[in-house]
Structure 1
Amino acid sequence: MEGTMELRHLRYFIAVAEEGSLTLAAEKRLHTAQPSLSRQIRDLEYEVGVQLMSRSVHGIQLTAAGKAFLDHARLALAQADAAAEAARRAVQPAKPTLALGFLTGKEMDWLPEAMRILHDELPNIEVTVSSQNSPDLADALMRGRLDAAFMRPEERAGELVYRRVITEPFVVIFPSDQRLALHDTIELREIVGETFIIPSKTAPTSRAVIKDYLKRSGLDIIPDHEVDNITHAVSMIASTGAVALLPDYPNNLLPWSVTSRPLQDEAPTIDLVVGYSKANSSPILKLFLTRIDDLSAGISSKADRMSGAGSAHAPR
């Protein structure tokens, strides 16, 4: 198709689609005037040749064509960002580098093991580390800002590949002085009536697993609050006396005021994966991926040693 569609048109379209409003997109995201933004969207629709958005009293809604266009627009922007990032990295010194991302809290377990394996192979390697929510890690991988990330498998990131490193059960986390602390394991029905917290949309994979598990249980457990990460969860549990179902978290990283127990019945589980982009041709990434199994084995044996040394009241 010939024409003058530009990356900014895609950026504007995505902002309006995500905000559901020309006014909000103009003010919050793009810092531009609404009439100018409306004109840009009209120009884009003219270029594409079909209506992408319908305007109503309820705001902006995507047409079927707009929904199809949105996925490709996101991918095109991500690939443009990745191209720019690859160009910037190509002019940097030849020192081997790997940009690693971690689901917040996971770097405690996985970073030391990853560094040991990388330094065994490449003593001079420079590793950069970032800690984020899983959807943000997926975005950074697609934009070429990270080479690999320890994360949850995110549904929307079609250009990413996932290698499972461990499957984690969900456990019950609650205040240490709560009546539940008297039990070695917790039946789900025991938390009916307690203030219950659930991950927000910053952790969509965990959130979906918990919601599905509660629905299948048939119990009347309705979330009272949402939390954005493990730190927020622990703070809410300690301050409000709430209870949460969260992926297994090392007890030695929880403050004294909060503890955890395994579920008595079969617990729901969630995978921790290493994600990377299909388009990333880094030889260092390739080398790192050949050592993923060694990495998982190292963490598993370390966890086994810790659980053997722990008590029945300290699930790992």
Structure 2
Amino acid sequence: MELRHLRYFITVAEELNFSKAALKLFTAQPSLSQQIKDLEEDVGVQLFYRTKRKVELTEEGTVFLEQARLTLAQADKAVAMARQVSQAKQQMLRIGFVPVAEVKIFPSVLPNLRVQHPDFKIELLSLNNTEQMKRLKKGELDISFTRHNLNSDEIKSLFVLREPMVFILPEDHPLAKYEKIPVQALHGVDFIIPAVEQSHTIHHHILDFAKTQGITLNIVQKADNILFNINAVGMGLGCTILPAYTAPLITSNSVIRPLEVELPYVDLYVSYHKSNTSVAVRKFIELLTQIFYLDINRD
């Protein structure tokens, strides 16, 4: 028994005429008659009395009609609710991000997105690179902003921006007197760097830079977040190297000084699951592409 059998039965029961019911259902009368016969065989009872002059419901048919209407109403409700969930998912946007996105991306993109699509439900999740990668692959994030190019058979990544890193130190630090600091002067200097668990890329960029320059940093603190990293410098605990977006965030008793050698650059990528075809993801990527001139063909 299928739902179409119930629809056919209800229409015949309401019309009490196979010809009229067939017209209403846009089907041939012989086919409709066969469908009702098949239904009666499935149910195991006669649902209609049929004569050449009229069609009437049997007592069993009357009871079956009431329940058939309830069943179809419940099925229609189930379809409507499923479609509502699907529509809600189309409008839901779960965005994971590393701190740079708060400063460089969201102020430009989100106000425009809200104006263009006020029905979108946006959830912002501050997560490290590793956690974002896990959630993106499991379908728990729609959009991910990380320092990694995640391009694969499942994930699409787009390059968003590249920014230099800057050297930040307490304003009363002996090295603050230099207009350009000799890189060898950093040897043995107290340093605060991001913890590898929170910022794998920046952590290793700093260590790789020191190794390349042949210097050893005296790491006195590994910061769990960028804000603590910045404030620790302001408290005089040591120096640091961070992405340039942090420059406006440094405290009044910290300064930025250039080195005699160039510091590393760090990249930012936006990623999404290729199987995610939601309207919200598509519109977000379109807007991001317009604002930051993303190359959608670049890997």
* TM-score, shorter chain, exceeding 0.5: yes
Query: How far off its partner does 1:253 sit?
Result: 1.6
Which of 222, 226, 230 in structure 1 is aligned with 2:226?
230
Q: Which residue identity lines up with residue 239 of structure 1 in the other structure?
A: M
Alignment of 1:33-44 (within 5 A): none
Alignment of 1:36-115 (within 5 A): 90=85, 93=88, 96-115=91-110
- What TM-score, normalized to structure 1? 0.58
Question: What CA distance in whole angstroms lies between the structure 1 residues aligned with 2:152 and 2:231?
Answer: 31
Structure 1, gaps ≥5 residues long: 1-86, 299-316
Q: Is the 8 A contact 2:187 2:216 kept in 1?
A: yes
Q: 1:215 to 1:88 in 2, by over 3 A?
A: farther
Question: What CA distance in whole angstroms lies between the structure 1 residues aligned with 2:89 and 2:138?
Answer: 21
Query: The residue matched to 2:169 in structure 1 has which SS?
Result: strand
- Pair 1:129 & 2:124 matched: yes
Residue 238 of structure 2: aligned partner: 242
Q: Identical aligned pairs, as a percentage?
A: 28
Q: Which structure would you say has the larger Rg?
A: 2
Q: Which residue identity lines up with residue 109 of structure 1 in the other structure?
A: K
For residues 121-166 of structure 1, the C-alpha deviation after alignment (integer angstroms, 9 at most, x for no partner) is 4233222212122222222222222211222106798843321111
- Pair 1:205 & 2:201 matched: yes
Residue 138 of structure 1: aligned partner: 133
Residue 219 of structure 1: aligned partner: 215
Q: Is the 8 A contact 1:103 1:137 kept in 2?
A: no
Q: Is the 8 A contact 1:99 1:148 kept in 2?
A: yes
Q: 1:94 to 1:214 in 2, by over 3 A?
A: closer
Question: What CA distance in whole angstroms lies between the structure 2 residues aligned with 1:136 and 1:272?
Answer: 16
- Pair 1:273 & 2:269 matched: yes
Residue 189 of structure 1: aligned partner: 184
Query: The residue matched to 2:110 in structure 1 has which SS?
Result: helix
Q: 1:156 to 1:135 in 2, by over 3 A?
A: farther
Question: What CA distance in whole angstroms lies between the structure 2 residues aligned with 1:95 and 1:162?
Answer: 20
- What TM-score, normalized to structure 2? 0.61
Query: How far off its partner does 1:263 sit?
Result: 3.2
Q: How many residues align?
A: 212
Query: How far off its partner does 1:224 sit?
Result: 3.4
Query: How far off its partner does 1:92 sit?
Result: 6.6
Residue 257 of structure 1: aligned partner: 253
Q: 1:92 to 1:289 in 2, by over 3 A?
A: closer
For residues 191-238 of structure 1, the C-alpha deviation after alignment (integer angstroms, 9 at most, x for no partner) is 222102222222111222222211111123343332222122123323
Q: Is the 8 A contact 2:90 2:278 kept in 1?
A: no
Query: The residue matched to 2:245 in structure 1 has which SS?
Result: coil
Question: What CA distance in whole angstroms lies between the structure 2 residues aligned with 1:182 and 1:135?
Answer: 39
Q: 1:287 to 1:155 in 2, by over 3 A?
A: closer
Q: Which residue identity lines up with residue 128 of structure 1 in the other structure?
A: E
Question: What CA distance in whole angstroms lies between the structure 1 residues aligned with 2:172 and 2:83?
Answer: 53
Query: How far off its partner does 1:95 sit?
Result: 7.2
Q: 1:93 to 1:281 in 2, by over 3 A?
A: closer
Query: The residue matched to 2:235 in structure 1 has which SS?
Result: helix
Question: What CA distance in whole angstroms lies between the structure 1 residues aligned with 2:222 and 2:240?
Answer: 10
Query: The residue matched to 1:198 in structure 2 has which SS?
Result: strand
Q: Is the 8 A contact 2:90 2:279 kept in 1?
A: no
Residue 164 of structure 1: aligned partner: 159
Question: What CA distance in whole angstroms lies between the structure 1 residues aligned with 2:111 and 2:169?
Answer: 34
Structure 2, gaps ≥5 residues long: 1-81, 295-299
RMSD: 3.0
Query: The residue matched to 1:127 in structure 2 has which SS?
Result: strand
Q: 1:294 to 1:186 in 2, by over 3 A?
A: farther
Q: Which residue identity lines up with residue 110 of structure 1 in the other structure?
A: I
Query: How far off its partner does 1:185 sit?
Result: 3.7
Q: 1:199 to 1:158 in 2, by over 3 A?
A: farther
Residue 282 of structure 1: aligned partner: 278
Question: What CA distance in whole angstroms lies between the structure 1 residues aligned with 2:83 and 2:191?
Answer: 46
Q: Is the 8 A contact 1:117 1:295 kept in 2?
A: no
Residue 312 of structure 1: aligned partner: none
